[in-house]
């Protein structure tokens, strides 16, 4: 049985670890908040008291933490590079900077480890339903070795190129999602201003070219003012920083992304950072002189 050390059991990591345990893997989870291991333990997995403890004896190390510095800390300071046996496969499901991902993969190789960047899209529903889209960067043979793991948590698994390529594709994904959420928020505020039947409007929009996964998953949250986080504005703000910085380095113009990055920053400044990214609706409402209670 393959033993997987799963580091980071948050909104995304916890259901992913549970699915892996249910798929027949032996999963040992660690999270700084111990209560986050409860779902995994209830599914038959094990809880570790530290990253180093989880990694000891693991065949695979899976990581799902918020940002580039967090991944670097898990690998360097918290014990993965030190405790993982040579040949261990490290799969980073986090969304981080492509250059950092490539740098960490090179360091892993120097230590005799194999590493993949495998950021995911689909949010909390995708993690819960095991329908995530996984964009994988790294060596082809390592991708194939990890396919059973990916298939336990995702539906669309694509090898998109060398180390760091998965993170580059994820940055593009986050650009598209953010612009779509902002457009949806503006459309709903516009429709509200004219007193249109919003449920009917969303239904017909979803059946045409304006239809999207964003509309399907986020319109109801906006209509109900339900912004419990599936993916927090704080994290999407981080991701837009990645894509706008990378675009500058590449010399390409992404003006819509720049505007939405500023709107995401405004949402954080107004105290909405812990809310779901559908709460961009609140920013459009504020700009329109409409004020809702959370």
**Which residues have a catalytic role annotated?**
170
Q: How many CB atoms lie within 10 A of CB 66?
A: 16
For residue 144, the SS3 value is: helix
Cα first-last separation, the chain: 46
In degrees, rounded to 5, the angle at the alpha carbon of residue 101 between the alpha carbons of residues 129 and 126 is 10
Please name the residues in contact with 81: beta carbons below 8 A apart, sequence gap of 6 or more.
75, 107, 108, 111, 113
Beta bridge partners of 7: 30, 63
Burial 159-179 (b: 16+ CB within 10 A, else e): bbeebbbbbbbbbebbbebbb
Angstrom distances, CA of residue 175 to CA of 21, 171, 241: 32, 6, 10
Length of the chain: 294
């Amino acid at each position: 049985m393959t033993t997987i050390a799963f580091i980071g059991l948050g909104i995304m990591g916890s259901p992913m670890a549970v699915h892996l345990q249910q798929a027949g893997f032996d999963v040992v989870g660690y999270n700084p908040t111990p209560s986050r291991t409860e779902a995994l333990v209830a599914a038959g997995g094990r809880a570790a008291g530290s990253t180093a403890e989880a990694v000891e004896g693991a065949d695979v190390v899976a990581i799902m933490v918020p940002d580039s510095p967090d991944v670097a800390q898990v690998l360097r300071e918290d014990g993965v590079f030190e405790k993982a046996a040579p040949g261990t496969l490290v799969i980073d499901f986090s969304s981080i900077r492509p250059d950092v991902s490539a740098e960490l993969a090179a360091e892993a190789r120097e230590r005799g480890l194999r590493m993949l960047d495998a950021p995911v899209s689909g949010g909390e529903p995708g993690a819960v339903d095991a329908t995530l889209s996984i964009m994988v960067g790294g060596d082809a043979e390592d991708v194939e070795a990890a396919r059973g793991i990916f298939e336990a948590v995702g539906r669309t698994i694509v090898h998109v190129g060398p180390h760091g390529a998965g993170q580059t594709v994820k940055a593009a994904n986050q650009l598209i999602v953010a612009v779509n959420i902002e457009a949806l928020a503006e459309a709903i505020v516009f429709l509200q201003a004219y007193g249109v039947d919003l449920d009917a409007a969303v239904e017909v929009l979803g059946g045409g070219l304006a239809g999207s996964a964003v509309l399907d998953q986020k319109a109801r949250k906006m209509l109900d003012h339900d912004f419990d986080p599936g993916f927090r504005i704080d994290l999407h703000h981080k991701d837009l920083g990645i894509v706008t910085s990378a675009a500058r380095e590449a010399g390409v113009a992404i003006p819509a992304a720049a505007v939405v990055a500023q709107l995401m920053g405004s949402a954080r400044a107004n105290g909405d950072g812990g809310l779901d990214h559908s709460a961009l609706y609140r920013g459009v409402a504020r700009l329109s002189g409409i004020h809702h209670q959370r």
